[in-house]
Structure 1
Amino acid sequence: MSDSRLGLTVTHRRYVPYSHAHYAGNLVDGAYALGLFGDVATEVCIRTDGDEGLFASYSDVQFRGPVRAGDVVEVTATVTRVGTRSRTVDFVCRVVCRGRPERGGSAAEVVDPPVVAVTATGTVVVPPADR
């Protein structure tokens, strides 16, 4: 019998403000995406278990492309394993829109196909079901 929570996918989108740029070229540090993974993991836990849960660990994080101020990123979490109290979740952060300041102060474009910027696998834990 398959667990109905397997395969649950939650997606958030977020504009990356210029206040988060830390490096030349308006690059944003990788921790920005990890913070977004925490946000989307919280919604996963609420949907699967009725609790915000806690992020326990990452077993893999890959920084595959840049995230820049002025981007719009899409962060997706998919439940890949359900244990008694733990859930394994795969995460992807994609750049779906990118600012183009060289074309003008507010110029931007849709990135098609989206650029995969960060991937990760993490474990979240939730309280016992009988509480």
Structure 2
Amino acid sequence: MNDDPRVGLSVTHRRYVPYSHAHYGGNLVDGAYVLGMFGDVATEVCIRTDGDEGLFASYEDVQFKAPLRAGDVVEATATVTHVGRRSRRLAFEARVVCRARPDKSPSAAEVLAEPITVVTATGTVVVPPAS
């Protein structure tokens, strides 16, 4: 068991997805957009846990569960699940919390009663040795 006090630390970033990021029909946004957000929250985790931006070493089990669309507000969360000597294992989840409603008007949008999980993943980051 890993009883390090950093285990359980979570960082969340929230971002509006601009229409300039739509690449596919239906204003769909590619999965790389969320992976970029995961990199950003992982960086903040490393800063908070180790005072360094760290480096992303790998992703495992990336699951694209629902579409991300331009006009969405998406939040990405990273939670520390394991702390090694220089590695940190993180659980990631991205959820849509607001969605555009072009069926109502060109600028209509709504807060979702229940967020939609769009991507989950596990990843490993590494930090410099403690000095």
Q: What TM-score range do you get, normalising by the shorter chain?
A: over 0.9
Shift of 1:22: 0.2
* CA distance, structure 2, for counterparts of residue 27 and residue 129 of structure 1: 42
Q: Which residue of 2 aligns with 1:114?
A: 115
> Is the counterpart of residue 101 in structure 1 residue 102 in structure 2?
yes
Number of equivalent positions: 130
Report SS of the residue matched to 1:103.
Answer: coil
Gaps of 5+ in 2: none
* CA distance, structure 2, for counterparts of residue 113 and residue 86 of structure 1: 33
Show the 5 A alignment for 1:59-78.
Answer: 59-78=60-79
What percentage of residue pairs aligned between the two structures are identical?
75
Shift of 1:47: 0.2
Shift of 1:63: 0.1
Q: CA RMSD in A?
A: 0.8
Runs of 4+ residues over 3 Å off in structure 1: none
* CA distance, structure 1, for counterparts of residue 61 and residue 86 of structure 2: 20
Shift of 1:89: 0.1
Q: TM-score, normalising length from structure 2? A: 0.97
Q: Which residue of 2 aligns with 1:85?
A: 86
Q: Which residue of 1 aligns with 2:30?
A: 29
Cα deviation, 1:32-85, whole Å, max 9, x if unaligned, reads: 000000000000000000000000000110000010000000110000000000
Gaps of 5+ in 1: none
Shift of 1:6: 0.2
